[in-house]
Each structure stands twice: as C-alpha cells, then as structure tokens.
Amino acid sequence: MNATDVIVRGDASGFAQEINVGSHRLTADEPVELGGKDTGPSPYDLLLAALGSCTSMTISLYARTKKWPLESVTVNLRHSKIHAVDCRDCETKEGRIDRIEREIHLVGKLDAEQQKKLLEIADKCPVHRTLKSEIDIQTKAI
C-alpha cells in the first residue's frame, strides 16, 4: 500500500483548514458555536467519515468476495465524550473517554447468518483496527 501525503494548511486567524490529499481538496472547520465558520466538517466529523467509509468498503468487499446479495451499506456514526465509569467494557475507569456509536444498515436479501458475519467483518476494517490499537504519532518541527 502506498502512503499518500496529507497536507493541512490554515492561518492562525481561525479554524478553517485547507486539506490536500493527493489530487483531492477538502476543507475542515469548526461549527459556529465552537468559534468556527462551519465551512467544512470538523476534525471529528472527518474521523467518523474515515471510519464509516472504511467500514462500508470492507463489508462490501467481503460480500462481493462471497457473492452474497448485498445491495448497499449505510453507516451512521456519532462521536461523544462519556465518563469512563459509564463504560463497563473499558479499561479506563477515571475521567472521560471518547465514544463512537456506529449503526450499520445492510440492504439486500441476506440471511441472519450473513448479516451477523458482515457485522463481525465491520470490526476488521483497517481504520477500525487503527483506532482500537496503540498509535505512535511522531511530531517534529520543520
């Protein structure tokens, strides 16, 4: 897999950011209520979009490989901060943690076992695995 450089530029006067991903151009910003101008999705919205698109692609690829009758996939996602004590399956028990809620709607004449397997496959999408793993981010000034 070839890595594509992602370049993000913004001036210090606001939150709006110009994002270049190869030949693609995007904008990120914060909502007005958080001090932005809402000229693009927030960073967390972009994170959810990455997870949702990866989930849909992974499920669709698996179904195509198996020749299952999947017609479409819709992934709805929400991000929030919760108190760690409210998460019974989390190792962290103090402070607040991030929660992502993901709902997957599968369209097609799938039986119950196929649907169950596709929901298991959702957790195998590379972005999901990255978010659940230890991440080493190395930063330097240039």
How high is the pLDDT of residue 2? 58
CATH class for the region spanning 42-132: alpha beta
Say if residue 30's pLDDT is above 80: yes
The angle formed by the CA atoms of residues 102, 88 and 114, to the nearest 5 degrees, is 40
- pLDDT of 1 > 80? The answer is no
pLDDT tens-digit profile of 37-57? 999 999 999 999 999 999 999
pLDDT digits (tens, 9 = 90+) for 15-27: 999 999 999 999 9
**pLDDT band for position 66 (50/70/90)?**
very high
* Helix axes 112-122 and 43-66, enclosed angle (nearest 10): 140
Average confidence score pLDDT of the chain: 93
CA dist 30 and 35 (Å) reads 7
Strand partners, 24: 21
Q: What is the pTM of this model?
A: 0.90
